[in-house]
Amino acid sequence: MKEKFVTYIKKLQNEITSALEDIDGKAKFKEDKWTRQEGGGGQTRVIENGAVFEKGGVNISEVFGKLPDSMQAYFGVKDADFFACGLSLVLHPKNPKVPTVHANWRYFEMYDAEGNIVDSWFGGGQDLTPYYLFEEDAKHFHQICKNACDAHNLEFYETYKKRCDEYFWNAHREEARGIGGIFFDYLKETETMKMQDWYNFVTEVGNSFLESYLPIVEKRKNLPYSEENRTWQEIRRGRYVEFNLVHDKGTLFGLKTNGRIESILMSLPPVVQWKYDHQPEIGSEEEKLIEVLKNPKDWIN
């Protein structure tokens, strides 16, 4: 399964970076292959200063070795080895009318002292973080997520949409990071879902990513914007940074397993502001966004 999924994410990385270069029209991804001293490595691809994307990364990693003591305590195991692979992407557009997007799809195995697999699971999802709310974009993104879920189980979308709203929640701000999407973790084998079934589901979601995001980029990338719009975007980017550094489990796992810092922190936007006690103007488009972030919506019904 791990070899199968590694093959898949390598192919998906090629498809996504190629499509993003086409829609940007100016910048190209720079590739950085790296190795991890304890075992494994990865392939980081970063795009910067493009016509559409100010900064973005589409990274794959394949790491293995002894599970650090802190993570053994977290999982409640002893003397365990692990294997983890996945694709993770974050795209920060230049135009404030185009939303930031994040997605990742990953697979994890844990082994005992004899090298036997004692646990394995899939995780991942995709979510949208707009700076200005276009409801038709939110509905489109969620509908594509729902279509991918419905192909496997009609209960998946509602379940994983709710988990996404719960996970990407900046508790210290009492607001969501964005308008959500779907999020799933610890997808393990059951009587009704074998690991092959989960593989089929996760890859279906991965394959739906470009359809969920690129039509939104195409529609919004040439809209006019002001310096005030950019300031708002940079303030909201600050909230994005707060979530990733305070709450995100993926960042935590990378830091605790001696992951590659440049790849882990690739998700952070290039230009950010923290204004003291900034409040959007009452009745403004900015306030409209905040209201939705404080009260996650059902975008399908």
Residues contacting 33, CB < 8 A, separation 6+: 41, 42, 43, 44
State phi, psi for 77 to the nearest 5 degrees: -125, 170
Place of tokens 């394959």: 207
| Active-site residue, from 92, 102, 140, 142 | 102
Half-sphere exposure of 145 (CA within 13 A, CB side): 31
> Distance (Å, rounded) from C-alpha 22 to C-alpha 29?
11
Q: Using N-to-C axis directions, what is the helix angle for 2-24 and 195-220, rounded to 10°?
A: 10
At 126, give phi and psi (nearest 5°): -150, 140
Q: Please provide residue 42's backbone torsions phi and psi, each rounded to the nearest 5 degrees.
A: -170, -175
Residue whose entry in the numeric block shows the structure tokens 């900064």: 55
- Phi/psi region, residue 120 (left: phi>0; alpha: psi -120 to 50; beta: rest), is beta
Q: Count the alpha carbons within 13 Å of 32 in the hemisphere toward its beta carbon.
A: 13
Residue 116 corresponds to which tokens in the numbers above? 């036997």
Encoded tokens for 126:
């995709």
Q: Which two tokens stand for residue 229?
A: 């719009």
Q: Check if 102 is active-site.
A: yes
Distance, CA of 272 to CA of 231 (rounded, Å): 9
User: Catalytic residue numbers?
Assistant: 102
